[in-house]
Chain A
Amino acid sequence: MKPAFSVIFLTTFIGAGQGLFLAYYSAEWLVMLELLQPASGDYSVLAAGISFLLMVAGLVASFFHLGHPERAWRAAAMWRTSWLSREVIALPATMATVLAYFVLRYSAIDFQILTLGRIPVSLSTLVGFVALIAILVLFVCTAMIYASLKFLRQWHSPLTVLNFFLMGTASGFTLATVLAVATAAGPFGYFSAMAIFLTLAALVSRWSSLSRNRNLRSPSTLQSAIGVHHPTIRQMAQGAMGGSFNTRAFMHSYGPGVVRLARRFFLIGGFVLPVLLLFFSNADSLLICTVALLLQFLGLLTERWYFFIEAEHPQNVYYQMIS
């Protein structure tokens, strides 16, 4: 498949935004359960704000993918059958709940609404819980857009959903680590440990999907594609001397060297180096953490680019030779 850059930015941005919210919201609960020391100052306002802005950035990027962005509202119609439609509903819903959480925290109109055992739960925490559910649903919807296409064998796997979740949360926790260092507030140790753990988990998961895809063969052959069961078939003409949508949209023009380089870069830059940098950083090393974040973000953008390159569309068997 040809990489769709707006989609690459959309999925990477919203993944980081979702992960960032999960990082701060999970820390909030750990503080409430007295498993973490309460932090100095309410940092969750900043985190929720940045998480919201990342999702806005993703949404803006997604509009560049559409031929008719003014009709985008129509895309909510077919949520019963289409994962894309479900994402179109889940993304604004997630943004709305994250924004509501941000507003409640920022304006301090928060109040205690119920108690769980002996833990007081405020309205914002309850709204945050709704946001948490929305974020998890959004991860599934986003990944299922790709994983549900059974013809694209490289995407049609539960590993796709796991990858999207782990990479999104990993980058979100890395971003949370940087924010914790920059604002000198928030549980640096928890964030960096989780960032390291999730990045390693994402590496294992992505590595499994890479090795799964390496030996994957499409069940479609030239024989089944044209229904002539002879071992030797050679294409003589594809119906047009110039290109067509079929050659533009489903094939990429990057050489194997570039693709190999990209794979190495995202494996090392997106996963290995951030883990090492975070491992050797402390609550004062802003530069190291920022470098880790930027490397990981570039790595994950490259990963998403590679995700498209990796997928082999069955229609390509019809377009092997111009003449």
Chain B
Amino acid sequence: MVDRNPYGADPTGTFFNRVQTFEVGEFPNTQTVHFPKSCLHCEDPPCVPVCPTGASYKRPEDGIVLVDYDKCIGCEYCSWACPYGAREIDEQQKVMKKCTLCVDRLYDESLPQAERKPVCVLSCPTSARIYGDIHDPESEASRAINAAGGYQLMPEWGTEPANHYLPRRKVNIAVHEEDLQRVDNPLRKEDRGQRAPTTRTTLDDSTSW
């Protein structure tokens, strides 16, 4: 995870996770879509079979797609094979890197059970990210996908990403006049003839510094 020329004229970096922003619709009827993008841990990851050394692998026990940094020769072939652009070369270590789903946290028994989750899930301030086993229909993730109609990215390639995205919820807010203007607004009571006229000389006007 390094950047190149971070404070120079042409900075460029490596990202496990990026949040992109899209504007959907025609002005003025537009909505902003924030779109986090990381490795999707495909069920059928196209980056794995192309790896000539076996450094890229999908763990049979939990399906996490990882890179063995000691075996990777840095040929970048897997990055050509990933349609999502999830894999990036580490310019210093010269090996392929990608989102690991924080695999080091998931099985760390020194952490409390509730914290054995990827950091992006734990740190999201609005709990927009959900972590769970999508093969377990009772997991939090599976339930959210089933309830809200979660979908996969670029389904046309048949990669079957494990990471699903939940569709935007339609939120209709009924705005009433009294929500904007309180009926019992104390300021309004003060307004009634008690506010000082603005034409009167103030302290600033009468003082010279």
Asked if A and B are interacting partners, one says yes
CB nearest neighbor in A for B87 = A245
Is there contact, CB below 8 Å, between A224 and B13? no
Residues of A within 8 A of B50 (CB): 81-84, 148-149
| Nearest CB on A from B85, distance (A) | 3
Is there contact, CB below 8 Å, between A245 and B88? yes
Is there contact, CB below 8 Å, between B25 and A71? no
When the two chains form the complex, which single residue of B19, B21, B48, B75 contacts A75, counting CB atoms closer than 8 Å?
B75
When the two chains form the complex, which single residue of B12, B20, B51 contacts A237, counting CB atoms closer than 8 Å?
B20
CB nearest neighbor in B for A230 = B24
Residues of A within 8 A of B88 (CB): 244-246
B115-158 interface code vs A (CB 8 A; 1 in, 0 out): 00000000000000000000000000000000000011111110
A189 interfacial by beta-carbon distance below 8 Å: no
Interface residues on A, range: 35 or more
Q: Which stretch in B66-74, B173-181, B186-194, B195-203 binds the other chain?
A: B66-74
Interface residues on B, range: 35 or more
| Nearest CB on A from B68, distance (A) | 10
Is there contact, CB below 8 Å, between A314 and B73? no
The secondary structure that dominates the B interface is loop
| Nearest CB on B from A205, distance (A) | 23
Is there contact, CB below 8 Å, between B24 and A232? yes
A68 interfacial by beta-carbon distance below 8 Å: yes
Which of chain A's residues 194-242 have a Cβ closer than 8 Å to chain B? Answer: 219-220, 222, 224-228, 230, 232-242
Is there contact, CB below 8 Å, between B21 and A237? yes
Is there contact, CB below 8 Å, between B73 and A224? no
B37-62 interface code vs A (CB 8 A; 1 in, 0 out): 10000000010111111110000000
| Nearest CB on A from B166, distance (A) | 10
A158 interfacial by beta-carbon distance below 8 Å: no
Is there contact, CB below 8 Å, between B82 and A315? yes
CB nearest neighbor in B for A224 = B154
CB nearest neighbor in B for A220 = B154
Closest 6 CB pairs of A and B: A67-B74, A239-B18, A315-B85, A67-B94, A245-B88, A242-B11
Q: A78-B52, A150-B46, A318-B85 are in contact. List 4 more A-B contacts (CB 8 A).
A: A74-B55, A77-B54, A151-B83, A313-B85
